[in-house]
A and B are shown apart, each in its own frame.
Chain A
């Protein structure tokens, strides 16, 4: 019997891998619940920091590595619009004009998806059974919105989460000021932008901030905390997978836990 077309390779992303593994586990749960088999090949980085810094050679080398690692899967799913966009939009650019790699990159890009939109647009998931008591507001990360077409889908799924009230964030589609290396190259400008975002988030009155990109989330969470605002900041996958009971971003673990 031929294998079902639902073998997913999870491109976990550096930030999730290093900073917040629970997002990876939430992604796996969501995918498995939707009927996929998920594998996580040994991986490092999609190459976006190199790409955006003008180091095309390194960006290409890492892209080749990612493609070679993942191309045997039916789908490649990424819990991030930023890394997803790097693959889907920029990998073909990186190999433009290369008769071998360009078609390979295009084929690869065509089967790479951001997590939430993969669930809704490809697997047809329209309802998630989950529970979350609280009022959440949602920030659209730039790449998710403009490169990966993610906007309505997470809101639709969140609307079905029992106990969760969604408060729309004014200027949800305006950048949070992270921009990868931008926040460390131009810290004062980044700070001005994230401060505006953090204050807008706090002003919604929500107790929770959600988004689909960990870079944005870490950035906004860090600023909320520095500003003395108390919101739980999580990746949207954590809530949808019912795994939002652990510490939120930047919050300490309860004293007894140890990995």
Chain B
């Protein structure tokens, strides 16, 4: 999948003009109301958010040691840990494991890391067929699209589109079958994917958490696809980035208590699965190999730095559910794997602010994201920090820099500022007083293309004040 974050403005424009997407977005993400209700039903919710933040911060501050402990436990349980510094290394490691298993098809549970490293395309280039099993991910896989939301990847689709895709792709099924209702579409997907589950040689999942105490990887789903992915094949591969570490099972329960509530308003997702190593000697089912691929991809250098806090993210999606910008343009506009406010902070860190700079700039700093983040990440502050980096590196657009410099010149000289504003007020008033507003202002085209600009009142407050008082 190609990176289009540099074309964010173009993407956003296309998204705003996409009637079907706009319909889907306004039908919306009922998650907002549900989160509110779930939080209300748990008196300890706010304290749990503080605790969750503290657990993640503590872990990040001791990440090397928790990673060592985790590694020892995975190995003791018969699992194999692989390290990957870059996306390329991670792809290679995963491919090697699959080749050793003579894999032809690979089922996949939802994993953002797989998207981040471009795994599906790489598999296809190397003769291995990846099959997404999360229903939303499957829907977008057959359309060759990126997910548009981290919890609900196909939220931008309507059922007619899904029907069209199923008819196009599931050619072995009778052409005259009825696919009118979501329930029939789901039943068809279930049947198709059931065959893939049973036939897969390798199953790949992500990990919401990696538990150092026990060497355990945890996935959280509502469908059960992750479980079928990791239980049926001979080989189970877990793809996880380094910041997924959590110290103990007790720490896991704190995080679980805020995760589903923040994501979908459920108290718990349907399936929370803890996996440790391969099947044991007398287990009648389960994989015979268990691999964990730990990916860095730039995260280790974020620790202890200005953007370290984003590594607390537990991928709940609350920030984007609440974001007015995300709700206006949807996830694809962000142009890469991670959309919404967390994407706006993480993307420049992983792909560079020169490519990802639009994302932290396209924010009003309304603060809703920070208000709902279960681990209290100061998202607006870090978006602003990206803007500072851009400014230092002169990446800020010339018009903005110039405008600011002009403004600052006057603002630093209040007497001169007073004269300039008095003049501006007078001039704009003269031109605008007839109607009280401007339908078009040459130097404010961005504004007046969409809305009227009110005319000032003719003299500034400060000028009038000084005339009236002494």
Asked whether A142 lies within 8 Å of B367 as measured between CB atoms, the reply is yes
Q: With A44-B412, A53-B400, A182-B362 in contact, is A252–B433 under 8 Å at CB?
A: yes
Q: With A25-B461, A54-B384, A179-B363 in contact, is A43–B414 under 8 Å at CB?
A: yes
Within 8 A of B (CB), among A152-195: 174-175, 177-195
Asked whether B411 lies within 8 Å of A47 as measured between CB atoms, the reply is yes
Report Cα–Cα, A14/B462, bound state, in Å: 10
Asked whether A186 lies within 8 Å of B12 as measured between CB atoms, the reply is yes
Q: Which residues of chain B come closer than 8 Å to A62, judged between CB atoms? A: 408, 411-412
Within 8 A of B (CB), among A232-246: none
Q: Would you call A251 an interface residue if the criterion is a C-beta within 8 Å of the partner chain's C-beta atoms? A: yes
Q: Would you call B453 an interface residue if the criterion is a C-beta within 8 Å of the partner chain's C-beta atoms? A: yes
Asked whether A222 lies within 8 Å of B453 as measured between CB atoms, the reply is yes
Q: With A19-B457, A184-B446, A191-B451 in contact, is A179–B391 under 8 Å at CB?
A: no
Q: With A56-B388, A58-B408 in contact, is A42–B414 under 8 Å at CB?
A: yes
Q: Which residues of chain A come closer than 8 Å to B362, judged between CB atoms? A: 182, 185-186, 189
Report Cα–Cα, A124/B447, bound state, in Å: 39
Question: Given B364, B384, B400, B413, which contacts A51 in the complex, CB threshold below 8 Å?
Answer: B384
Within 8 A of A (CB), among B414-444: 414-415, 417-418, 421, 424-425, 429, 433-437, 439, 444
Q: With A189-B12, A226-B450 in contact, is A175–B366 under 8 Å at CB?
A: yes
When each residue 444-465 of chain B gets 1 if its CB lies under 8 Å from chain A and 0 otherwise, what string results? 1011011111111111111011
Q: Would you call B368 an interface residue if the criterion is a C-beta within 8 Å of the partner chain's C-beta atoms? A: yes
Interface centre among B404, B452, B454, B464 (most CB of A within 10 A): B454
Report Cα–Cα, A4/B412, bound state, in Å: 32
Q: With A55-B404, A175-B368 in contact, is A194–B451 under 8 Å at CB?
A: yes
Q: With A19-B456, A24-B461, A182-B364 in contact, is A49–B450 under 8 Å at CB?
A: no
A contacts with B, residue count (CB < 8 A): 72
Report Cα–Cα, A190/B417, bound state, in Å: 28
Within 8 A of B (CB), among A198-244: 218-219, 221-223, 225-226
Q: Which residues of chain B come closer than 8 Å to A21, judged between CB atoms? A: 457, 459-461, 464
Asked whether A18 lies within 8 Å of B460 as measured between CB atoms, the reply is yes
Asked whether A17 lies within 8 Å of B462 as measured between CB atoms, the reply is yes
Q: Would you call A136 an interface residue if the criterion is a C-beta within 8 Å of the partner chain's C-beta atoms? A: no
Query: In the complex, how many angstroms separate the beta carbon of A123 from the nearest chain B beta carbon?
Result: 22
When each residue 367-400 of chain B gets 1 if its CB lies under 8 Å from chain A and 0 otherwise, what string results? 1101100000000010010111111100010001
Question: Given B418, B437, B447, B457, which contacts A42 in the complex, CB threshold below 8 Å?
Answer: B418
Asked whether B328 lies within 8 Å of A193 as measured between CB atoms, the reply is yes
Q: Which residues of chain B come closer than 8 Å to A252, judged between CB atoms? A: 433-437, 455
Query: In the complex, how many angstroms separate the beta carbon of B320 from the nearest chain A beta carbon?
Result: 14
Q: Which residues of chain A come closer than 8 Å to B78, judged between CB atoms? A: none
Q: Which residues of chain A come closer than 8 Å to B417, judged between CB atoms? A: 44-45
Smallest CB gap from B453: residue in A:
A222
Q: Would you call B13 an interface residue if the criterion is a C-beta within 8 Å of the partner chain's C-beta atoms? A: yes
Asked whether A226 lies within 8 Å of B412 as measured between CB atoms, the reply is no
| 6 A-B pairs with least C-beta separation | A179-B364, A222-B451, A54-B387, A54-B391, A252-B436, A21-B461
Given contacts A54-B392, A181-B400, A259-B458, 6 further A-B contacts (CB under 8 A): A45-B411, A55-B391, A179-B364, A192-B16, A225-B451, A250-B437
Residues on B facing A (Cβ under 8 Å): 9, 12-13, 16, 324-325, 328-329, 361-368, 370-371, 381, 384, 386-392, 396, 400, 404, 407-408, 410-415, 417-418, 421, 424-425, 429, 433-437, 439, 444, 446-447, 449-462, 464-465
